[in-house]
Chains A and B, each alone.
Chain A
Amino acid sequence: DTEVTQTPKHLVMGMTNKKSLKCEQHMGHRAMYWYKQKAKKPPELMFVYSYEKLSINESVPSRFSPECPNSSLLNLHLHALQPEDSALYLCASSQDPWTSGNEQFFGPGTRLTVL
C-alpha cells in the first residue's frame, strides 16, 4: 500500500462538538504531518511527528490536539472549533525526516466545515 489515507472525507461540526480526523499509512514512514489548507493557498504546517514523538508544533491553538498511537496512525482531535477553522486538513508522511531528498506523500484531505 503506497498511499496515505484519511477519514472522513468530509466533516461538518458545530462549535461545541468534539470530533477526530484519522490518517493512516503503511509505507513504513517514520514522520507524519498535519497541514491546514485554505482554498488556493499553500498548506500550512501544524504538527510534525518523528518516530511517534511530537517534534514540531507550529503554535497551533489547543483546540487542535494531535495524537500518534503508532507508527502507521495519526489522529487530530478537534474540540470547540471556530468557523475560521473550516479548511481542508491534509495529512502527509515521509520516510525519515532527517535524511535528504525526503519526499512527503500527501493524503486526499478531510474537508472540515465548522458551523
Chain B
Amino acid sequence: AQRVTQPEKLLSVFKGAPVELKCNYSYSGSPELFWYVQYSRQRLQLLLRHISRESIKGFTADLNKGETSFHLKKPFAQEEDSAMYYCALSSLYNQGGKLIFGQGTELSVKP
C-alpha cells in the first residue's frame, strides 16, 4: 500500500539551528515525492519536488530510495519558516495525479 509517514507531529527549534523534517514512504514503484508548506492563513503551496533537485528558501531534500526517505533539511532555521509541512507522494503511472499526504509536521522556530 502507498503510504507517507512523518513521525514528528511538532518540531520546535531555535532560530539559526539546523532543522530536519523526516519523511518516509512506502511505494512499490517509482514515486514522485514533494514537500508542501502551509503558512498560517495562507494557501498550501509546493516547496520542493525531488525531480527538480533544487533548493528553495534554503531548504533541500534528497530522495533516498534505499531508506525510502525524503527528509527536508535547512542548515539555519528562520522564524518565517514556522509553518505546517506536508510530505506527499504521487505515482508516476496512474491515479490521475493523486497525491498521498503524510500527517504533517508543524515546525515552530523560536527567536
Which A residues have a C-beta under 8 Å from some C-beta of B?
A: 31, 33, 40-43, 45, 48, 50, 55-56, 90, 92, 94, 96-98, 100-109
Cβ contacts A to B, 26 pairs, < 8 Å: A31-B97, A33-B97, A40-B84, A40-B104, A41-B103, A42-B102, A42-B103, A45-B99, A50-B97, A56-B95, A92-B44, A94-B97, A97-B96, A98-B96, A100-B32, A100-B92, A101-B49, A101-B51, A102-B32, A102-B97, A103-B46, A104-B46, A105-B46, A107-B43, A108-B43, A109-B43
Residues of B within 8 A of A33 (CB): 97
A56 to B95, CA, bound (A): 8
B3 within 8 A of A: no
List the B residue with the shortest CB-CB distance to A3.
Answer: B43
List the A residue with the shortest CB-CB distance to B41.
Answer: A108
Contact between B101 and A43 (Cβ–Cβ < 8 Å)?
A: yes
